[in-house]
Amino acid sequence: MKMLLLLLLCLAPQDQAAEARKLLDALAPSVKDQGYSQIEWENVPTKGVGHFNRGKAWYLDQTFVKGGQISVWDGQGFIQYLKSGNRFYRDRQEAADMLLTFGGGLAEIHYTGNAERLLRDAKKVLVKKEKLGDVDCTHVQITRKSSLEGGNDYELHFWIGTDQVLKQYQRRSTFQGKVHEVTFTYKVVDPPTTTDELFKFKPPADAKNMRSNDR
């Protein structure tokens, strides 16, 4: 009896992770032609648009109360352009969790086509039935350790409706004893207006390079 209980305890977390993976993978659209997809989101007071070439490139355009920014990974390098200051910087690598931070969980899934990077090295995964307002949902919670928040654990929350549509996504973290929450609501644009030119974005000729030694 004790051995059976131990076995069930060992299998439960794996079952939760497997169920979470199945639910999150189903959020990835079936891409056609060149593998493009597009989403729009709002995380008050910020709005954003994301364009994706599955597994190859992504483009995020965020609008803030004052100004905004464009972030692009073209598969070979990263560039971020700050509209308000007409400044930019480049990097040769896709910064850790950059897409997830700016575009949220659905942006990550649209780009990769699955939940692999979301669940990789997860410290805890929970799945439970839960209402979001009056909507019946399955709530997936992933606890991870961040490289962008001083090593603090943070939580990713997905509320997925019975129609397999993501109703709400939320990122929660604790900093200096205070809980910080960022909530995203999404709209999938189908068919996407994505073009290959988006991923070839270049800042204006008069934009200032924030890394003077960048080449």
pLDDT in tens, 74-95: 999 999 999 999 999 999 888 7
- pLDDT tens profile 3-54: 544 444 444 456 799 999 999 999 999 987 779 999 999 998 999 999 999 9
Residue 11 resides in a domain = no
Backbone φ and ψ for 154, nearest 5 degrees, come out as -145, 160
* Residue 212 falls inside a structural domain: no
Which CATH number characterizes residue 167's domain? Answer: 2.50.20
User: Domain of 162?
Assistant: 16-206
- How confident is the prediction for the chain on average, in pLDDT? 89
End-to-end distance of the chain based on CA atoms, in angstroms?
65
What tokens were used for 197?
A: 């030119």
CA 132 to each of CA 47, 115, 139, 160, 169: distance values in angstroms, whole numbers, following the listed order: 22, 22, 9, 9, 11
Residue 86 within any structural domain of the chain:
yes
**Number of domains making up the chain:** 1
Q: Please state the pTM of the whole predicted model.
A: 0.87
Say if 3 falls within a structural domain: no
Per DSSP (E only), the strands in the chain are 36-43, 46-53, 57-63, 68-73, 78-82, 87-91, 124-132, 135-145, 153-161, 166-175, 178-189, 208-209
Query: Does 10 map to a domain?
Result: no
pLDDT tens across 95-133, in order? 768 899 999 999 999 999 999 999 998 999 999 999 999
Q: pLDDT tens digits, residue range 142-160?
A: 999 866 545 678 999 999 9
CB 20 within 8 A of CB 136: no
- Flag whether 185 is in a domain: yes
Q: Is residue 211 part of a domain?
A: no
Average the pLDDT over 155-182 and give the result.
93
**pLDDT at residue 69, as a whole number:** 96
Would 215 be classed as within a structural domain? no
